[in-house]
Structure 1
Amino acid sequence: MRKPAFRLTAVAVIAVAGLVTAGCAGGTTGGGAATDSALASGDLTGLNFAFAIPTSAAEVYVNQADTFVKQAEELGATVTVYDNAGDAATMLSNADLMVAAAPDVIIEFPSVADATTRVGQKFTDAGIPCIAVNVPVEGCPLFNFDQPYLSGLGATAMAEQMATRGWDASNTTVVIGQASELGASVNIAATAFYAALSEKVPGMTKVSSDDIQPTTTVITPDQGLQGDLGLTIDSGYDATLTALQTIPKDRNVVIYTVSDDTTVGVLRALDNQGRTAQAMVSGYGGSTDALSNIRNGDVWVTEQMGFFAYWGEFLLSMAAATAAGADIPDLTSPPMVILEKDNVDTFFEPGTDTLTEMPELPDSSKYLYDTGILQKFGNIAGAE
């Protein structure tokens, strides 16, 4: 079965989030958990979920919330979306609102890492099961990429792209972009990418991920830089302009980001400075922009793909298992691949963002098949 990417309007989610963060609307009181047999059949009727997204300013998170809400409603559940608005104060306020609403499960996608301990304690004190997304929250099992694994795949793909063009340490500077507000659990993707790449590109000074601190700017003179590119188009654009001023124009540039919105900003900055002919970028997430650029261009050449737009169905499966009292591992991960021009149409219909089929889940995540939810959507291998 083929499943299109959902593209609901940002306005709809922002409107819901605005009501919630203002304290005018919450979820329906929990306690309507379905039976184990109903969960095995993928029926979520009577379940209520709260889903807090990092910020409605980034389209990728709005699209993910849209997908989650639509899929949950198709299976009989209700969802209230909360906008963490990119700051700790709103994240903490939303945690109070979610606790007061008493959903069956809270799905928390933190906006900043330094508020996660306090948020997790609120959920624990209330006795409400929770799931953390992308950034760890104390007391909540985590759904996220296996960052070092996926970064290693990405580094291998980029090293091959560089070799094809004759790029090495003598003529190329690598820039990795962190999103400082999300902390080490996300930004290890960038540092692990650089460390793996330094093992593969001729002449690069080998650097371990642990040696690249959040405050590091120059990793190796001429060879490597780190910047805080953030999570939005504007932050990616501004930080890339700044970085390019320090890189001689006769050097090639490889730029890695942890967000596709950021990558769009990176492309605009490269174009502004007339440096696209000597640049390659790698994105993270699998957005429509990523798929289009990989197919049609020669700058955005690789994409760390964990099928981010489809996390809704995995989170629903994880929430269903949580509501049923299942033993949830500390880390649950989605399928992970690196998209390039020669394989993007393996997973999506040619020329579109319509998903055909995702690869199988990693072994540690295969318990999600047991809820019966993934079978409802028919877009992942192994869900028969």
Structure 2
Amino acid sequence: MKVTYASFGESVGFVATVTHSIQDAADEAGVELSVLDNQNDAATAVDNARQAATTQPDVFIEYSGNADSNSRIASLMADADIPVIAVQYPIEGAPLFAIDNTRVGQVGGEYLADAAQDKFGDATPAALIVTLPQGGPIQLDRSDGAKEAISEVYPDIEFSEVDSRSDAAVGRQLAADFLTSHPDEPVIIWTHVDSVALGVVAAVEASGRDDVLVMSTGGDAAAFPEIRKAGTPLVGTVGLFPETWGPVLIDLAERVAAGDDVPDVTRPEKIEVISADNIDELYPE
């Protein structure tokens, strides 16, 4: 069986881990796999799909975040009579493998709020939500889930929301500005991705404050040294465990190629906060 996989963008550590997992699973299953890099670019994703269509794989796995390009990709693959599996972002007519992003936000928000109660007692903290609105429903569902869970613990809390533009330097400046504007109250900061969270943590550490807690999302290995560091404001990251996605996706591809019925949506089973308490168990050094 031949499978072509178009990656969201190999420059992103999380995505590269997904790709390695798919490659390992394909090797294990004896599946012939070709990998294309969409480079987080809509035009490149369409070009890659057009290239893939000419090679006639049994299944095309697409990981692309642009709705317009995904619509064009759906048409290209339908014309070529090639079944598609969509990763994270829907493609018309294709089964979807995607995280429950609302749940991801809820898990992180609940953990952050509980940590704040342990540290700050009854005081309601100021809350900063660092998100990526242009990321569409995935990012909005995550931030909404986080706010919902935090509000369960702090019913009267007020949220300030900012756009990181998925840039660690922007995240650092936004966090620094928020800390400056809230000098006399404890602060909690929820972030949508680990790379930005590390910029936020840098701002907290530069401020010298010990009344700030940060929660991240993703489970990228780049955040692990910070989580292991004593006294860090980073209480954890919601692990999405991308290294486990490959076997599920290759199994789905085999079933799709065989003409079997598959669910409209398949969820990764493992979502868990990675913190100082469990990181050595989950990811031994």
**Same fold? TM cut 0.5:** yes
Work out whether residues 168 and 201 of structure 1, in 8 Å CA contact, stay in contact via their aligned partners in 2.
Answer: no
Q: CA deviation at 1:86?
A: 1.8
- TM-score, with length taken from structure 2: 0.87
Shift of 1:258: 2.9
**SS of match in other structure, 1:131:** strand
Structure with more strand by fraction: 2
Question: Which ranges in structure 2 are unaligned for 5 or more consecutive residues?
Answer: none
1:312 aligned residue = 246
**Secondary structure in 2 matching 1:128:** coil
**Contact 1:176–1:191 (Cα < 8 Å) also in 2:** no
Q: 1:321 to 1:54 in 2, by over 3 A?
A: same
Residue 94 of structure 1: SS of its match in structure 2?
helix
1:337 maps to 2:272: yes
- Contact preservation (8 Å) 1:91, 1:115: yes
In structure 2, the partner of 1:4 is none
- 1:294-314 per-residue CA deviation (whole Å, 9 max, x = no partner) reads 233432212212212321222
Contact 1:286 1:309 in 2 (8 A): no
2:71 aligned partner? 117
Cα deviation code 1:75-96 (max 9, x no counterpart) = 3222222111222111111111
Query: C-alpha separation between the residues in 2 aligned to 1:314 and 1:165?
Result: 39
Q: Which residue of 2 aligns with 1:229?
A: 164
Q: Tell me, in whole angstroms, the C-alpha distance in 2 between the residues paired with 1:306 and 1:339.
A: 10
TM-score, normalization by structure 1: 0.66
SS of equivalent residue, structure 2 residue 170: helix
- Matching residue of 1:94: 48
Choose from 201, 208, 212 the match for 1:279.
212
Shift of 1:52: 1.3
> 2: CA distance between counterparts of 1:329 and 1:119?
21
Name the CA distance, whole Å, in 2 between partners of 1:104 and 1:276: 56
Q: Is residue 184 from structure 1 mapped to residue 117 from structure 2 by the alignment?
A: no
1:200 and 2:153 correspond: yes
Q: CA RMSD in A?
A: 2.4
For 1:367-378, list aligned pairs within 5 A. Answer: none
Cα separation, partners in 2 of 1:98 and 1:269, compared to 1, 3 Å: farther
Deviations 1:208-248 (A, max 9, x none): xxxxxxxxxxxxxxx322223244xxx13213313532442
Asked whether 1:242 is paired with 2:195, we answer no
Identical positions, percent: 27
Amino acid aligned to 1:310: T
1:63 shift after superposition: 2.6
Where in structure 1 do 4 or more consecutive aligned residues deviate above 6 Å? Answer: none
Contact 1:287–1:309 (8 Å) recurs in 2? no
Helix, strand or coil at the partner of 2:256: helix
Following superposition, the deviation at residue 269 of structure 1 comes to: 4.0
Unaligned runs of 5+ in 1: 1-46, 205-222, 353-384
